[in-house]
Amino acid sequence: MLEYAFMQRALIGGLLVSIIAPFMGTFIVVRRMSLIGDSLSHVALSGIVLAALFGIEPIYGAVVITVIAAYFIFFLRENYASYEEISLAIIMSSGIALASVLMGFSKNIRGNFLSYLFGSITGISNQDIYIMIVLSFIIFAFWGVNYYKLFHMAFDEESAKAMGIKTDKLGKIFIILIALCVVVSMRIVGVLLISSMMVIPVAAAMQYSLSFKQTILTSIVIAVFSVIGGITLSFYFDLASGGTIVLISVVILVASIMLKGRR
């Protein structure tokens, strides 16, 4: 399998996703924003189609549109403070509606469009890997500097604000980083399955882990196993890579719940 250059790129990209997605996902789950990945992934579809219409690299269009959408999520959350899930529903429906309208302007992009919907390990280029590495570095650099501030925000935003943490500024950057995580992941698992990689490994890890850091590390291990297993099975059995990766993580989640119940 590793004799092929496209499989080498797929594994490199997959390992990046398997580290970033559950790392971000742990904070998302704790903040009860599990659906934000779905919302931004639907918006990413619009960015992909828009970029294709203008003849530019789809990943650039996805970055721009998802970052804009991330800002609007923060804006809507402030206006609907008591009903924060409304902002996610609005952005999700707007994203998929815009994508469907834009697709009507070009019939030639629909075939390639499917590879972004469900992931395509054969379509990962060197440029995709470089962009994923850069975006991953940006994400980890920010988290490395602001980890404990974001940790306090995740569990109690009001307390964090009282401690002098600039929660509004960090909140905006946090959502923008989620948007970048969506873009990083879309080539491996597809935009429709990105949210699963953020949430399912974390949900499985929560069955065993006793601390926040343990949950992060365990979820990353589960995600790495799912990605490597999914890519390997998709290569040898000609399966969809994104769906195979997510199904493996679902099996791990179910097994974790059953084993915890026996204990």
d(CA 17, CA 207): 22
Q: Are the C-beta atoms of 26 and 178 separated by less than 8 Å?
A: no
In the prediction, which pLDDT does 109 show?
62
Contacts of 32 (CB under 8 A, 6+ apart): none
CB-facing half-sphere around the CA of 136: CA atoms within 13 A: 20
Torsions phi, psi for 84 (to 5 deg): -65, -30
Average pLDDT of adjacent 10-residue blocks, the chain of 263 residues? 86 88 87 81 86 82 87 79 74 86 71 69 78 83 85 81 82 82 79 84 86 90 93 88 90 89 61
Domain range for 136 is 5-262
The C-alpha atoms of residue 226 and residue 204 are separated, in whole angstroms, by 12
| CATH code of the domain in which 220 resides | 1.10.3470.10
- Contact between 157 and 46 (Cβ < 8 Å): no
Predicted TM-score (pTM) of this structure? 0.85
What lies within 8 Å, CB to CB, of 84 at 6+ separation is 33, 77
pLDDT of residue 111: 55
Instruction: Determine the longest span between alpha carbons in the chain, in angstroms.
Output: 57
What is the structure's pLDDT at 84? 66
- What is the per-residue pLDDT for 129? 84
According to the model, what pLDDT value does residue 223 have?
A: 93
Residue 257 CB partners (closer than 8 Å, separation 6+):
207
Task: Please say whether the beta carbons of 157 and 109 come within 8 A.
Answer: no
pLDDT at 1 (0 to 100): 81
pLDDT at 248: 94
- From residue 190, alpha-carbon distances to 67, 70, 167, 214 in Å are 18, 19, 31, 27
Q: What is the pLDDT of residue 110?
A: 58
**What is the number of structural domains in the chain?**
1
Give residue 131's pLDDT: 79
